[in-house]
Chains A and B, each alone.
Chain A
């Protein structure tokens, strides 16, 4: 039996259930049964994206923080393994970031009429993409491995402390289009406000948990393959 075999099977079933529930739970005007979701005016079936798009953004954030924490650990211990984990987390973060941006953008085309509107949350995910892009550009511009690890760790920490400023900056320049914004102040920040019925919350948080576990699985695979790759190059 491979290690974590049951965990992987459990995650497979878990995420399948989330996808089935997210796509198939019927939306009715007045929900009675436990599986019925309310129709949200102006969103209707398009509201289902919340079960997939928001967990992707969440995972991007988890990866960003993980990359930064491993960067700090590298700076403290100077062990190259932490750098390896930091890059792996950043790589996965980039992937989830692109996924969240693309799904959000397609959804925006159908809901707001254009692919990109510079809504506060769109802007903040765009900045995350820029940070990831800059991070990998920096890494490719340095030859010595240890220097590469140190400088990219420093950069990720600086990016990590300046990014939260968007929470204060964004509400000052524009009102949010995102669902949950509805004219209230909190809606125009990059952090979502949740007003969901209980059964929707169950699916939503199940999806968040599922995506997070999926991230850790990916991360584990990526770190292991990166270690193998390293051992080939430096015997």
Chain B
């Protein structure tokens, strides 16, 4: 049994430290979220929009902010030329797991901020079932982190990184996006927790499948 958790944890620590030192992604992402929210606020004006549309728009913001931030973990390694070092000091799976966990923490904290700002600033968006809403945010973050990490590893090796990322991620993320939007609508309608269980099952199984396949495939992407 080769060690997995200790090296993964160290990769995670390394990424978190380097992120907290530069705050590149954090600052850019926070401003991105503020910008996107104000665009929506200005375009809505005094219009009252149905909550179904608002649930969709919340996930549009989340999707695009994830798309602008989550590729950093691998792209920055390529740009700084630190890939060979990482390949020497760690086996592929811990690298993947560490980066996955970092991306999960990043996207989850970001999504919580987005959701809070959204609830505060958009008056029509009233969450009736808090349990469903926050479970959706949590499981949605897991699902986004799972597929965007492996896609980030792929695009880090390509030429046009920025535009390629959403193009590759969207078809992969679509089943998950449809599910979270549906679950968010349920949380606005004030459904019972049991009614959203089907959605949560889809999200959990999606995350498990994508992570399992990524662990197998990451070796091919990572090794030159």
Q: Which of B164-212 contact A (CB under 8 A)?
A: 164, 167-168, 170-172, 174-176, 178-179, 182, 198-199, 202, 205-206, 209-210
CA distance A158 to B170 in the complex (A): 12
B160 within 8 A of partner (CB): yes
Asked if A229 is at the interface of the complex by the 8 Å CB criterion, the answer is no
Does B136 sit within 8 A of A, measured CB to CB?
no
Which of A18-26, A108-116, A147-155, A175-183 is found at the contact surface with chain B? A147-155
Most buried by A among B157, B159, B182: B157
Q: Note all chain A residues with C-beta closer than 8 A to B224.
A: 147
The answer on a CB contact under 8 Å between A162 and B147 is: yes
- Of the candidates B147, B157, B202, B214, the one whose C-beta lies within 8 Å of that of A168 is B202
Contacts A134-B168, A172-B199 given; does A166 touch B213 at CB 8 Å:
no
Q: How many residues on the A side are at the interface (Cβ–Cβ under 8 A)?
A: 30
Pairwise interchain contact A173-B157, C-beta atoms closer than 8 A: no
Is the C-beta of A69 less than 8 angstroms from some C-beta in chain B? Answer: no
Interface of chain B: mostly helix, strand, loop or mixed: helix
- Counting chain B residues whose Cβ lies within 8 A of the other chain, the interface size class is 20 to 34
Contact B210 A151 (CB under 8 A): no
Any chain A CB within 8 A of the CB of B217? yes
Q: Which of chain A's residues 71-112 have a Cβ closer than 8 Å to chain B? A: 75
CB < 8 Å: which of B155, B158, B171, B179 contacts A127? Answer: B171
**11 further contact pairs, Cβ within 8 A, besides A158-B150, A162-B210, A165-B175:** A75-B217, A130-B174, A134-B167, A134-B170, A141-B160, A147-B224, A157-B213, A158-B151, A158-B172, A161-B209, A165-B206
Q: Which B residues have a C-beta under 8 Å from some C-beta of A?
A: 147, 150-151, 154-155, 157-160, 164, 167-168, 170-172, 174-176, 178-179, 182, 198-199, 202, 205-206, 209-210, 213-214, 217, 220-221, 224
